[in-house]
Amino acid sequence: MAADLQEKTNRYEGMLADALDEAVQAVPDETHLGDAAADCLEMAGSYLDDGRHFKADDDWVNALASFSYGYGWLDAGVRMGLFDIPDDSHLFTM
């Protein structure tokens, strides 16, 4: 079971990092939606950092939770139209 948790945690870390690289803000900075996009990016990046901290401390459960929450923030932003993503992306639920 530990090996499954570690594999899934590593996979989610990579997915979140890749998703952060792929998402491009689609709304103007100077608007309420621009603020929301910035918040989504900040939260996703913070959860990525937190997850890496937990992983370094060998806390795989909290690392996976952090990567999952971060991914959720970014995916929600994509679903709301805050970000553009490549048409062939497999990282989002569009």
**pLDDT tens for each residue of 34-50:** 999 999 999 999 999 99
Q: What is the DSSP string of 41-68?
A: HHHHHHHHHHHHHHHHTT-HHHHHHHHH
Residue 22 lies in a domain: no
Residue 13 lies in a domain: no
Give the E-state strand segments of 1-94 in sequence order: 24-25, 83-84
- Cα distance between residue 41 and residue 22, in whole Å: 12
Q: Do the domain assignments include residue 7? A: no
Q: How many domains does the chain have?
A: 1
- Greater confidence (85 vs 40) lies with 40
Q: Which pLDDT value is given to residue 84?
A: 85
For residue 15, being part of any structural domain is answered with no
* Inter-residue contact 92 to 19 (CB < 8 Å): yes
Residue range of the domain that includes 78: 29-83
Which is higher by pLDDT, 34 or 23?
A: 34
Say yes or no to pLDDT of 33 above 90: yes
CA distance linking residue 24 with residue 55, whole number of Å:
27
